[in-house]
Structure 1
Amino acid sequence: MSVARRSLATFTAAVLAAALPATAASAAQEPDAGLLRLTVTQPDGAAARGSVNLVATDDSHSEFLQLDESGQLSVEVPANDYKILITPAYVDPDLPDDGLRQWVHGKTSYARAEAFRVTAGDTTDVTERLLPPSPLTVRARDAITGAPISRVCAYADGRGGNCDDTELTIPRLVPGPQTIRVYTEDGNHLAADATVNVTEGDTATAVVDLTPAAHVETTVVDAATGAPVAGACATVAPAGTGELPSVGPLACSDGTGRLRLDNVGAGSWNLFVRPTGGSPYGAQWVGATGGTGDPARARRLNLAAGRTVTVPPVRLDRAGTITGTVTSAATGAPVTSGEVSLAHSSGLSYLSWGTYLDGQGTYRIDWLGPYRWPLLFTTPDHALQWSGGVPVRGQAKPVTVRAGQSTTYSPALKRGTLVTGGLTNPAGHPVSAVLTFHNAATGEVVGSTWDYDGRYEARVLGRQTVTVGWQWGGFADYAGWYDGVAEASDAKPVTVPSTGTLTVDIGLRPFPAS
């Protein structure tokens, strides 16, 4: 996982860490506190066991607590409005069932949950009855023809995940609106998320339309001899972008060199092929007549839903190697943490798009075809930059790879301009968020960061104009753009100077994340 992509995973971990158990004693030390008393019963009226998340609606405070044997808890918290999430433990009090979480009163999402006001010096009593787990039957049909899909798979909130003929029943879900993931085993239809309604005490049925997938077929051969090559793996990137995926379709050639890539959406794509398992062949963007290291020169595949496109044989050349030592232009010292890659994503499944710097700042990539490759350098203490010290791929200085030979490329990375500022929610309180900086002209990611305490710092190459996207939230996820808009097209551009420090304070808004 690249540093740029890893930021979102790190932010998620920070949100979860913020929800770890906090004692009532610590909460009682807060000024202007009130008492919240919660009583929870099972559907049959017996005392419930499990865990409780108490979340201030302005994101300023949270508690993670346990119900006692009587199904109750009491906690002093700062005066505020709170939403309450209950994770019941029907079998073992120490093993709450995440698949049956419900928000008070009887809701399946944070957005629909009721807020309870805790007033300083007063007691707020809340009671909740757990909803009885109820089944959901799922069927699927072709979104174009309307024909039933004979083998369907589904899961919801950690439940299901099995496949069955014609229809599948997920046995225990919280009644109310639920988002389910529906897919097929054969790769002939694209997976889809659907919001369905689970009926209390009854078996609801959901019929979900799935769009037929497109397919790519080809044969992978030795460019010199025409002999089939096994174990060469392929994926796709949006045409002309070079943005290799971290999650997406993947297929590898068999012993005859045949390769079929399923689960591809309709659209315009480039095909990327990388041999695996110590193969002597090199990776390539598949071009019109041979391989290339430049996605802008790759063959464009126009795919339609439900159709199969056959690509002429992919002709693999022998691999070459790029090695080098990465240093800081500011200090001359080796840069000992980070990644050298072909794209912002680190890789797909076991297929890597790059490599990590070692403790001496050195790297080695020995699986590239003999072409000119732009390289991306993502490190914690320097601005994200492409080979040649530029912010976007189209400006990069490609590094030439020669078959069977080693090319040395040892860049001195630019520190970049320090972009900093505060992050606040609509109430003006500091919040944690992930920020992503995009080149305003191309939309490419040119930097990212996350913070814990409402104050961020990022290194971005200047001079360039950027837009700033953000993601914020824990139980509810929000996303938007600077300055106070929900869509990228409405984002306010910011010019990053060549040197110095740029301060940009960002107010986050509760725009639901898509």
Structure 2
Amino acid sequence: MSVARRSLATFTAAVLAAVLPATAASATQEQDVGLLRLTVTQPDGTAARGAVDLTATDDSHAEYLQLDESGQLSVEVPATDYKIRITPAYYDPDMPDEGLRQWVPGKTSYAQAEAFRVTAGGTTDVAERLLPPSPITVRARDAITGAPITEVCAYADGRGANCGDPEITIHGLVPGPQTIRVYTEDGNYLATDATVNVVEGETAVAVVDLTPAAHVETTVVDAATGAPVAGACAVVAPAGTGELPAVGPLACSDATGRLRLGEVEAGSWNLFVRPTGDSPYGAQWVGATGGTGDPAQARTITLATGQAVTVPPIRLDRAGIVTGTVTSAATGAPVTSGEVSLAHASGLSYLRWGAYLDDQGGYRIDWLGPYRWPLLFTTGDHALQWSGGVATRGQAKPVTVRAGRSTVYSPALKPGTLVTGGLTDSAGRPVSAVLTFHNAATGEVVGSVWDYDGRYEARVLGRQTITVGWEWGSFVSYAGWYDGVADAAAAKRVTVPSSGTLTVDIGLRPFPAG
């Protein structure tokens, strides 16, 4: 919603409040709201303290509240059905323990929780006893052989125990189904999120199957001298996609150049390597005989479950620099907010895949190998686009990087076509959602936007045909595709014109995410 529209809405609400008789306003409030009274006790029956999340089952209303000293609260809310989540504070009323959250009555998830109806002008009383925190013991076994794993790690909701024992006991969990993270320190197994059942007042035992991880082993050397290179870090990308991860396995070469990348799932992968720190070497997609800037030319490594594959030495070339100033093709003014990168993800916690634009529209990337690189420009006020002003990586005009030299690339970004519309749920109410626009031919992301008031605006390059995915929800996430379908293959295709405005109103349906 624009500033002007928000101002008009505020002004209109103020005028109506001023001109409506007080009795009419009171009657409307009595008709539309009811009273919810909640009493919460600790396991021993004494008054509980903590925070309360009150959320309408239709996502039309939410409240975040605090229990008083008597473990109670009263609140007037719009008449509808509500689910209630309690976050206890056993020691400090201002420090609720998120690891002990429970849904009323005594459940561990939104899906299990009961819905309480608040009627217009009525009172709904709800009483809840907090469940006593209970432990669970976790063991692990090999999913292929069934053999016990002798060194296991596990945690849940910030609670965990030391790694390295055949079994781990996690204390202080809410009884009922819980999701725990189970893994091994040696990286020989893939970490998994397992659902286990915590039993009130007992120490239940959960046995979790872990899938053996695949590994990639190699050495990293200077392409010219063959000398080992330390501090070069490798990640995997799904073969042929060029999509670098925001999270995932990473390994760096040691002083001898040895590199072992573990915790990789079975499948077909490409390797991307980027030296860290002030290294004189440049990043590369690992090709068949040397480095490349084009992921389409990268070597494909196929891994089976638990397999260790040794690939030929990775030969690093010296880095070059790409620098420039990004402007708007529409105005000529610098584009001062955004990122220049190799992929949609910004990068790992300490290893980035690009660089931010400064307040003059300038950027500098000084760690690329001497190859031809497609560059992605992501900004808030222009369409997402690759170097050359195109929507997909395969159409991009690569930027040539030369070892020890600077290449200037200063694109004028195309504004793109304005795609806009309303977002409503199955009852026709406005909802907030994340929209992702995909090129219909390649599946690549060509734009995204987060709406917060039931109306979205995004810029997408035309002319191209797209599909639109969406995700929405709070305690339960829903996902789907335009127009009213649950999977990408059935998504309705939309042609984005070369310029102007395209209106696409989207009805969101409660398809479970994932």
TM-score range normalised by the length of the shorter chain: over 0.9
1:136-215 equivalences in 2 (<5 Å): 136-160=136-160, 162-215=162-215
Question: What is the CA distance between 1:349 and its match in structure 2?
Answer: 2.5
SS state at 1:364 partner:
strand
Match of 1:370 in 2: 370
List alignment gaps of at least 5 residues for structure 1. 1-27
Letter in 2 for 1:479: A
1:371-410 equivalences in 2 (<5 Å): 371-410=371-410
Match of 1:419 in 2: 419
Match of 1:60 in 2: 60
Match of 1:452 in 2: 452
Q: Is the 8 A contact 2:370 2:401 kept in 1?
A: yes
Take 1:138 and 1:181, find their aligned partners in 2: how far apart are those partners? 10
1:120 and 2:105 are equivalent in the alignment: no
Q: Is the 8 A contact 1:155 1:162 kept in 2?
A: no
Question: What is the CA distance between 1:503 and its match in structure 2?
Answer: 1.0
Query: CA 1:54 to 1:311, structure 2 compared with 1: closer, same or farther past 3 Å?
Result: same
Percent identity (aligned): 85
Letter in 2 for 1:121: G
Using the size of structure 1 for normalisation, the TM-score is: 0.93
For 1:429-459, what per-residue CA distance to the aligned partner results, in whole angstroms no more than 9, with x for missing partners?
2111111111111111100000211111111
Question: What is the CA distance between 1:30 and its match in structure 2?
Answer: 8.2
Q: Is the 8 A contact 1:30 1:78 kept in 2?
A: no
SS state at 2:152 partner:
strand
Q: Is the 8 A contact 2:220 2:259 kept in 1?
A: yes
SS state at 1:485 partner:
coil
SS state at 1:381 partner:
coil
Take 1:99 and 1:353, find their aligned partners in 2: how far apart are those partners? 34
Question: What is the CA distance between 1:161 and its match in structure 2?
Answer: 5.7
Take 2:398 and 2:423, find their aligned partners in 1: how far apart are those partners? 37
Moved more, 471-480 or 294-303: 471-480
Match of 2:9 in 1: none
Take 2:289 and 2:218, find their aligned partners in 1: how far apart are those partners? 14
Take 2:281 and 2:305, find their aligned partners in 1: how far apart are those partners? 32
List alignment gaps of at least 5 residues for structure 2. 1-27
Take 1:298 and 1:338, find their aligned partners in 2: how far apart are those partners? 28
SS state at 1:132 partner:
coil
1:322 and 2:322 are equivalent in the alignment: yes
Take 1:183 and 1:472, find their aligned partners in 2: how far apart are those partners? 30
Take 1:415 and 1:51, find their aligned partners in 2: how far apart are those partners? 45
Letter in 1 for 2:333: A
SS state at 2:489 partner:
helix
For 1:102-136, what per-residue CA distance to the aligned partner results, in whole angstroms no more than 9, with x for missing partners?
11111111111111111111101111111111111
SS state at 2:178 partner:
strand
Question: What is the CA distance between 1:265 and its match in structure 2?
Answer: 0.8
Q: Is the 8 A contact 1:281 1:318 kept in 2?
A: yes
Take 1:155 and 1:479, find their aligned partners in 2: how far apart are those partners? 28
Match of 2:40 in 1: 40
Match of 1:51 in 2: 51
Q: Is the 8 A contact 1:31 1:78 kept in 2?
A: no
SS state at 1:492 partner:
coil
Question: What is the CA distance between 1:164 and its match in structure 2?
Answer: 3.9
Moved more, 282-291 or 175-184: 175-184
Moved more, 148-157 or 351-360: 148-157
Q: Is the 8 A contact 2:133 2:172 kept in 1?
A: yes
Match of 1:93 in 2: 93
Take 1:496 and 1:381, find their aligned partners in 2: how far apart are those partners? 17
SS state at 1:340 partner:
strand
Corresponding pairs, count? 488
Take 1:30 and 1:284, find their aligned partners in 2: how far apart are those partners? 66
Query: CA 1:50 to 1:499, structure 2 compared with 1: closer, same or farther past 3 Å?
Result: same
Take 2:403 and 2:347, find their aligned partners in 1: how far apart are those partners? 23
Take 1:414 and 1:321, find their aligned partners in 2: how far apart are those partners? 24
SS state at 2:208 partner:
strand
* RMSD of aligned alpha carbons: 1.4
Question: What is the CA distance between 1:204 and its match in structure 2?
Answer: 1.3
Question: What is the CA distance between 1:500 and its match in structure 2?
Answer: 1.0
Match of 1:340 in 2: 340
Question: What is the CA distance between 1:511 and its match in structure 2?
Answer: 2.0
Take 1:161 and 1:394, find their aligned partners in 2: how far apart are those partners? 47
Take 2:501 and 2:137, find their aligned partners in 1: how far apart are those partners? 57
For 1:170-214, what per-residue CA distance to the aligned partner results, in whole angstroms no more than 9, with x for missing partners?
111111111111111110000111111111111111111111111
Question: What is the CA distance between 1:267 and its match in structure 2?
Answer: 0.5
Q: Is the 8 A contact 2:31 2:121 kept in 1?
A: no
Take 2:133 and 2:489, find their aligned partners in 1: how far apart are those partners? 43
Match of 2:245 in 1: 245
Q: Is the 8 A contact 2:30 2:121 kept in 1?
A: no
Take 2:98 and 2:408, find their aligned partners in 1: how far apart are those partners? 51
Question: What is the CA distance between 1:43 and its match in structure 2?
Answer: 1.3
* Higher RCO (CA < 8 A, seq sep 6+): 1
Question: What is the CA distance between 1:29 and its match in structure 2?
Answer: 6.0
Question: What is the CA distance between 1:479 and its match in structure 2?
Answer: 1.6
Take 2:95 and 2:371, find their aligned partners in 1: how far apart are those partners? 54
